[in-house]
Chain A
Amino acid sequence: AQSVTQLGSHVSVSEGALVLLRCNYSSSVPPYLFWYVQYPNQGLQLLLKYTSAATLVKGINGFEAEFKKSETSFHLTKPSAHMSDAAEYFCAVTPSNDYKLSFGAGTTVTVRA
């Protein structure tokens, strides 16, 4: 079975500051890992995904994430927050031999001017 834990349900950052969202996973087989963003009253948009290629994955809107097998982590970062980054972020995992996404509970990001 696979699961995802997102540490921190809410994160508040100043505009221009580093954004760091934490995600730890458990999976019985090599995982595929994803970060999605959800803006208010909208569906999910894929930010980036890890599918066993490079461990540092670059996504859209300046986000990137690093897969660390030894720590079972896939933390999301962005060097400089913009007001438009205010949203809810979900980490998700699926075993590489499966297709059912298991999502974390989400982290809400607010950006202070």
Chain B
Amino acid sequence: ETGVTQSPTHLIKTRGQQVTLRCSSQSGHNTVSWYQQALGQGPQFIFQYYREEENGRGNFPPRFSGLQFPNYSSELNVNALELDDSALYLCASSSGRASMQETQYFGPGTRLLVL
């Protein structure tokens, strides 16, 4: 059984650019959640995808968008990057929708630096 993987591990972009981060969910999981963890803070929920549809969103602007594919892998896209977008982006997968009875398994994250 493979765990949650994310790519790339590190990324440097400049203000105004666009970025795409990728996540492969754990085998058998159909739900993916994305979190942003700024330096020295706890993760903040961005959004969740269940069976290719957005299932809920946190307090993030529309320039943060996502996709989930038929194999349940997922992408996080951020347009018009701002300096404050510099953070560790974590992906978590689980099985089942809207149920925290199911454990979320986190990937190692992608560290994004915006200059």
Q: Are A44 and B101 in contact (CB under 8 A)?
A: no
Q: Which of A68-76, A77-85, A96-104 contacts B (4 or more CB under 8 A)?
A: A96-104
Give the interface residue-count category, chain B. 20 to 34
Residues in A lying within 8 Å of B, measured CB to CB: 4, 32, 36, 41-46, 49, 51, 90, 92, 94, 96, 98-106
Closest to A103 in B: B42
- Partner pick for A43 among B44, B58, B99, B108, CB 8 A cutoff: B108
> What B residues does A42 contact at CB under 8 A?
108-109
> What B residues does A98 contact at CB under 8 A?
98, 100
Q: Are B45 and A43 in contact (CB under 8 A)?
A: no
Closest to A52 in B: B101
- Partner pick for B103 among A49, A90, A96, CB 8 A cutoff: A49
8 contacts between A and B (CB under 8 A): A43-B4, A44-B43, A98-B98, A99-B97, A100-B48, A100-B56, A101-B35, A103-B43
- Majority secondary structure, B binding face: loop
Q: Are A103 and B44 in contact (CB under 8 A)?
A: yes
Residues in B lying within 8 Å of A, measured CB to CB: 4, 33, 35, 40-45, 48, 55-56, 58, 90, 92, 97-101, 103-109
Q: Are B98 and A43 in contact (CB under 8 A)?
A: no
Docked CA distance A45–B98 (Å)? 20
CB distance from A21 to the nearest CB of B (A): 13
> What A residues does B48 contact at CB under 8 A?
99-100
